[in-house]
Structure 1
């Protein structure tokens, strides 16, 4: 760390480097603002293949990391046939079949969602669906399809419901008035019908983790929902992602300083497929957090995506390295 700040990975927003030219943070894929070697993560194995179903969503959150909304279709609906081609490639890609994760937008907005889920399950994949559990999921056709899949495949299928906070006030402040009640309706329906279900919350309030988990536990007990709030896999608390926040850059030295193994980073074991509006074919990106940054686009096949990822984004630092978070269930 060049003799300064050896106990932490911190760099000022802008510094003067040797050529006296100012360099902003996260502006160079190979070097930090301080001129040190930026950390990268090599690919190890495909444990989770994410399918982004499209950025259209039934609601618009105040701080949506992927900027989904009822009108934003820059990532358009991927079709069942397009998803199937990646399932085909994934079958021989790793020693074990990867988990298939579906995210959006709201996945149940996609008309092929049930078909894609059924295809992945029939091939033997474990499937995780990230959903807000609101109206798109609660349509009669979708509920009937989910019940049939759950009856056939049981715990092979799981759903993770977004519940940003255990209080209606703070959840609705993020997702809109009435959204907490609707999400709870969907969560109750899933629990009552025996689905494998978990919840994703946010740590935006700054309250102690045990206090936050206690708040969720009270909600789950009140609603008779069998989720252990103290189980980190059943209640996932994600760090808030602020695109304007000043966060440290991660250098190669940071792995040792922070005692973090790069093999545990999400981009070491996962990739996401997106379909850009107007594109002839889907593309593979490094992770679920950065579908719009061109430096994280890895090609059009899984094979092309097998190369190191430079951690040249604040989300890499805040969410993954410092936050220790991962979207996957595996």
Structure 2
């Protein structure tokens, strides 16, 4: 039904990679300054959200667990290609469901990268072995390790509406452990609610002050408010003329600075995608190697317009 609704809302749009529905040249983005390489650790998750763009759940293994050896293969390619990366990001699913998550983060940290792990801070992160691993990584690498916590709203009833009853309290429990352990954390919320940006940030600021969390609610890098990714919403196509009209540059879009590695169920090898938001769209699969993934990306999807160009959002820190 979602695919049908999306096709109806954007009838005639996003069909030709190079030309928009009204015959204009579609905008494209070059990998101009690679800063972040993402690894999807697998789509399995301990919860199932009401609206998860990647459809993570306790049963969805469409993207299987990636391994430390596979991560290191791509880190070797980064060196060989001379990519000036700053950050290695891990997303899921819930990354701490992957039994090699600590080892993969350690491999990236040992090479001098900053590491960002996206987590709901619930039971998978709170296992004793995982907590011990996080403490060891922090002791060796300090603030180069950051955990971004998915806290959809500062009010528990709104957060739980998305993630299930009791999830807010479990996430806060994990955040309190991170606080007490001295691990660096940031927060990712959603801007889909009725609150304005200022109201949302004020609400998060009050929560952080009350809990003693060292997170700046006014800093978009520490408290990220993501626009909702609804493929059924009608959005404009981005043409080459839009950059000047909007006062934006292709360098500002996420695919100018990042790529994501995934491993599909049944595949012999991982593959590289244009971005983190489109794991199931074949058009945005660039090849198995970073060399293949250096080609330009055509902005031929509603997410390209709403989330990245018009929303100005980025999954990176």
For normalisation by structure 1, the TM-score amounts to 0.92
Name the SS for the 1:92 alignment partner: helix
- Matched with 2:147 is 159
Change (3 A) 1:33 1:152: same
Question: How far has the Cα of 1:140 moved from its partner?
Answer: 0.4
Identify the match of residue 184 of structure 2 among 180, 184, 196: 196
Which sections of structure 2, spanning at least 5 residues, go unmatched?
A: 1-8
Question: How far has the Cα of 1:201 moved from its partner?
Answer: 0.4
Name the SS for the 2:178 alignment partner: helix
CA contact (8 A) 2:34 2:83 kept: no
Q: Could you tell me how far apart the structure 2 residues matched to 1:178 and 1:98 are? A: 36
- Matched with 2:81 is 93
Question: How far has the Cα of 1:264 moved from its partner?
Answer: 1.1
Identify the match of residue 82 of structure 1 among 62, 70, 74: 70
Identify the match of residue 35 of structure 2 among 47, 72, 97: 47
Q: Could you tell me how far apart the structure 1 residues matched to 2:20 and 2:178 are? A: 46
Q: How does 1:118-133 map to 2 (within 5 A)?
A: 118-133=106-121
Q: How does 1:183-222 map to 2 (within 5 A)?
A: 183-222=171-210
Could you give the per-residue CA deviations for residues 230-270 of structure 1, whole angstroms, max 9, x where no partner exists? 11111011111111111111111111100111011110110
Compare CA radii of gyration and give the structure with the larger one.
Answer: 1
Could you give the per-residue CA deviations for residues 10-62 of structure 1, whole angstroms, max 9, x where no partner exists? xx944xxxxxxxxx111111111112111110111321000000000000000
Question: How far has the Cα of 1:95 moved from its partner?
Answer: 5.6
The count of aligned residue pairs is 309
Q: Say whether 1:171 aligns with 2:165.
A: no
Q: Could you tell me how far apart the structure 2 residues matched to 1:93 and 1:164 are? A: 37
- Matched with 1:230 is 218
Question: If each structure's helix is expressed as a fraction of its own residues, which one has the higher value?
Answer: 2
Identify the match of residue 271 of structure 2 among 269, 275, 283: 283
For normalisation by structure 2, the TM-score amounts to 0.96
* CA RMSD across the alignment: 1.1
Which sections of structure 1, spanning at least 5 residues, go unmatched?
A: 1-11, 15-23
Identify the match of residue 273 of structure 1 among 258, 261, 267: 261
Identify the match of residue 305 of structure 2 among 306, 310, 317: 317
- Matched with 2:3 is none
Q: Could you tell me how far apart the structure 2 residues matched to 1:178 and 1:268 are? A: 38
Question: How far has the Cα of 1:93 moved from its partner?
Answer: 2.6
Q: Say whether 1:142 aligns with 2:169.
A: no
